[in-house]
Amino acid sequence: MMEMIWEYTYMYFHPLILICCCSLIVYCYILIVCYRRRDALKIKIKTKQDQCRQSLEKFTKLPAPVNRVITRRSKKSEIIDLSLEKLLDKLKAGTYGAKDVLTEYLQKALEVNKEFKCVVEAIKEAEDLAMDCDKMRNSKEQHKRPLHGLPVSLKENYFLKDYDSTAGMSDYIGIPCKEDAVIVQVLKKQGAVPFVRTNIPQTMMTYECSNPIYGQTVNPHDGTKGPGGSSGGEACIIAAKGSLLGFGNDIGGSIRIPCHMCGVCGLKPTYGRLSAKGIFELMSGQTLINATTGPMARDVTSLVIAMEALLCDDMFVLDPTVPPIPFRMEIYEKTNELKIGYYIFDGYLKPVPACKRAVMDAKAILERQGHELVHFEVPDVKDIFTEIYLPIIFGDNAKTLWECLKNDNIDPTIWLAVRSWSLPKFVQWLMSWVVSYIYNDNIVGKGMRSTCKSKNVYDWWKLAERLQKYKKKFLSLWRSHKLDVLICPGFAFPAVPNGAVFNVLGGVTYTALYNLLDYPAGTVPITKVTREDEAGMKEYPTNTRYERFIKKYYSEDTVGLPVGVQCVGLPYQEELVLRVMKMLENENIHHHHD
């Protein structure tokens, strides 16, 4: 009897036992592989962090400046306080040596970094570049170079020979770039000294500024808030006076958002006006909406000096795709009256009182100067954002992003979005309806479904057709008003609490629109949040989840945060955009001094 039971058990349960044992072995193997991969990832990230820290520590005890003119404390602080224009004058005149200026800015950048975590590493070649500048002191060559001896900071995704550009992703650690980005090459030829690299968010597809390699950058005006992104480290270091001039890039607002949130100036040029060759970007496979490179600085004059220096023969030779159009100073310096459009609401998320007031203040400034201001209504923002912009940006169903991140430590600020990309399409589709219900906002659900839009080349072509039709519609409306330029909110709200960007993502319609259109757009600080602005939040709507979070974040603890406006022009009208930015800045500075 027992033999029969054993035989029966063996016959029927033996395969099950075998399957269980095999499954256990496979599970243990996967577990071991995962642990090893995780440990290898930890070592990889730790090694990179150590390299970056050592590059910074090397400069913590720099020798005192050798130029006796600036050994006094008052002179040292004067270097940091000087405008870019005045500092260049003193560098070219030989009043200050390039090495001395570099020393002061390196030490200031390190000091700023301790508090705000905006610098990822120092550029070791900076010292040699500065000494080369000093060797040609008082020579004709020195006066020919428009950026002679000027320290310049660079966003981490700008290629530098023998340096990694990771965009905050560990897959790209240990893959040094083979040559400098074209912009970096031109900067060096024009006498600039790239000296530090600045922080970015993981993937650069958010306006947080946090990643598992370099950590989180905070806003220099309020450490509980973020600096914006993806060029957040750049905006932070410039606002904190750790740099005079920096360079970022922008595919949805990545220059303008952090400039608005940190209170500095930035320009997103038309795509191709400056070379994008040698800039790390995850979305390079799609070419309907392109990331543009641009300068960021403390004031508008610095942006003008940077653009004039970069738009030179060296740029046009190194990258023949850049149209050989020098900076047209005659357009920038014109004094004719302009017809300027304005709006305070783009049709999706209402801006907070401070951002509305900034536009109205700018309107009043321009009207006092004799310009004609006309109201402009943006067509179909909600539709174009979910039906054109997002389907283009995520036209590969976010596969490129997921491939880069699937084996990485994912930053908490983007964890939910990244995990949703890994789900099957039908699950994403179902989730989008649930999220729309939770948010009481069908735009959020449509945004989630946008990653599932393009299924074949035919869909992609139709998407391109819709983009062209919208561009024609917008231009037709612009022409019907006979506009020269347009002003609008820098963003829907000021700086966001750290880690909270996911709760208010809808604000990007204010900036992404001009990436989609490929219009040049610059941001200039206009005002700061007041107690009256906070009090005005009582009237802010709370119909959707985004609106409820906005009301929560901006009803208190925001007084003093910077607020900017955007100035927008037609393609290749960067000079006119900068002119309007300068007109706003001039009267704003005069008003504050009064």
Q: Which residue has the tokens 């000091």?
A: 111
**What whole-number distance in Å separates Cα of residue 151 and Cα of residue 153?**
7
**What whole-number distance in Å separates Cα of residue 524 and Cα of residue 566?**
7
Question: Per the annotation, does 445 bind a ligand?
Answer: no
**What whole-number distance in Å separates Cα of residue 175 and Cα of residue 185?**
20
**What whole-number distance in Å separates Cα of residue 534 and Cα of residue 493?**
12
CA 229 to chain centre: 4
Asked if 481 contacts 374 with a C-beta cutoff of 8 angstroms, the reply is yes
Question: Per the annotation, does 204 bind a ligand?
Answer: yes
Question: Per the annotation, does 251 bind a ligand?
Answer: yes
Question: Per the annotation, does 229 bind a ligand?
Answer: no
For residue 249, give the DSSP letter: E
Query: Pick from 108, 120, 111, 181: which is nearest to 151 by CA?
Result: 108
Q: What is the DSSP string of 514-583?
A: HHHHT--EEEEEEEE--HHHHHHGGGS--SSHHHHHHHHHHSSS-TT-EEEEEEE-STT-HHHHHHHHHH
Question: Per the annotation, does 506 bind a ligand?
Answer: no
3-state secondary structure 88-144: HHHHHHCCCCHHHHHHHHHHHHHHHHHHHCCEEEECCCHHHHHHHHHHCCCCHHHHH
**What whole-number distance in Å separates Cα of residue 363 and Cα of residue 365?**
5
**Active-site residues: which are they?**
155, 230, 254
Extract the tokens encoding 8. 């029966």
Binding-site members are: 204, 230, 251-254
Binding-site members for substrate are: 204, 230, 251-254
